[in-house]
Structure 1
């Protein structure tokens, strides 16, 4: 993943210094280049692809339909996955469906086509105290698996506004290295009615730091990991400001939702 390099400069006038450098260059005594280590640990994310569909002026009836958020990734309500909508699902090329519901909804929100599509059914309540972060990795793995095989996936809850929207926003954040506000805006431009509840908004804001830390640790060697923990002392000012800005944005969303 990364290699250690020691740049040696001989100093003929100072043999002792050269001897000291020789000791440093011995196997097991090499020191990692900090700049190289930082470059190797820099997280790289793919660019956000553009959808093939043009953005349309939002109309109220569109709430009952699914919209393409990314090429192959759709977000919508349960009404877009009802039995009567099978021809539309097949015409759009849907192969996978994420069905979000809680126990009390299981009687009317259900996998209608288990022999036609591959389903991921998640038990999530649209409640501010629900821990939705725990479902983000499973959802991402399911979506990634679908898109990697050339499939298309629909993520739906009941209305396609809160729970399913939060899952899609989290997917964009982690996949493309996006801030919460940017991922929210991208999804809202394509499905204007999204409105994750207050608790989900706060969890999505927190998730940026969680997935970045997870990815960083995953790509670090044990030596780098040890040095990182010993050298880091507190959050960089720019990172702290970034999180504070997202908190302000989330608070504005929550206030707007509460005011109707």
Structure 2
């Protein structure tokens, strides 16, 4: 088994290895390319009254792929809004009570039918988020493949949550990392930290090698 893994690691990739720098450039290339203003998911843009406007003030949420939403911690705590969206799965990529974390857990959503997954990840380049890539991909896929919807969040909805969604698109939808970044960033201004981008590049190389072996 170890021999096979080592042989797999030595497979040369057409076009060379995906690097952290390439993914950083992909983010720069899409700077300012977020799609034109879109109404918040779940709200009717034709309605115009003060109460409706106020209801949107604390919402930060974008649908980045059919059935997959990225948002912030405040929106994640708005169970009424998540129900309006039809969310079936909530992924908190920043679970905890410390600064920069979102203090929710299974109990918080116990009065709903939503399935919850909480990961205690801090938004630091040194953190090993890669060990969760297949866990989050399976969780998000469970939602989407069953006709449900996943709300993926961290504190601000730009780094940890985005990294989880990118890993899902790469693992379950066979997207290259650069293509996944382009897709998500046309819908939301995300920018995973440098360490997370490096781990996404490593994942990209592993997945590309696996696909080469299958052909």
TM-score range, shorter chain: 0.5 to 0.7
Residues 174-216 of structure 1, C-alpha deviations (whole Å, 9 max, x = no match): 2222222211111111112x11111011111111122334566
Q: How does 1:144-223 map to 2 (within 5 A)?
A: 144-192=141-189, 194-214=190-210
Aligned length: 162
RMSD: 2.8
The residue aligned with 2:65 is: 70
What is the distance in 1 between the residues matched to 2:166 and 2:81?
A: 24
Name whichever structure is richer in helix by fraction. 1
The residue matched to 2:186 in structure 1 has which SS? helix
Structure with higher RCO (Cα < 8 A, 6+ apart) = 2
1:63–1:77 Cα contact (<8 Å) kept: no
The residue aligned with 1:110 is: 104
TM-score, structure 1 as length reference: 0.56
Q: How does 1:95-106 map to 2 (within 5 A)?
A: 95-105=88-98
Q: Which has the larger radius of gyration?
A: 1
CA separation of 1:210 and 1:56: change in aligned 2, threshold 3 A: same
List structure 1 runs of 4+ shifted beyond 4 angstroms. Answer: 61-64, 214-217
CA separation of 1:205 and 1:62: change in aligned 2, threshold 3 A: farther
What is the distance in 1 between the residues matched to 2:199 and 2:57?
A: 27
What is the distance in 1 between the residues matched to 2:205 and 2:89?
A: 29
Q: 1:65: Cα distance to partner? A: 1.3
Q: 1:104: Cα distance to partner? A: 4.3
What is the distance in 1 between the residues matched to 2:212 and 2:135?
A: 19
Counterpart pick for 1:127 among 121, 124, 144: 124
TM-score, structure 2 as length reference: 0.66
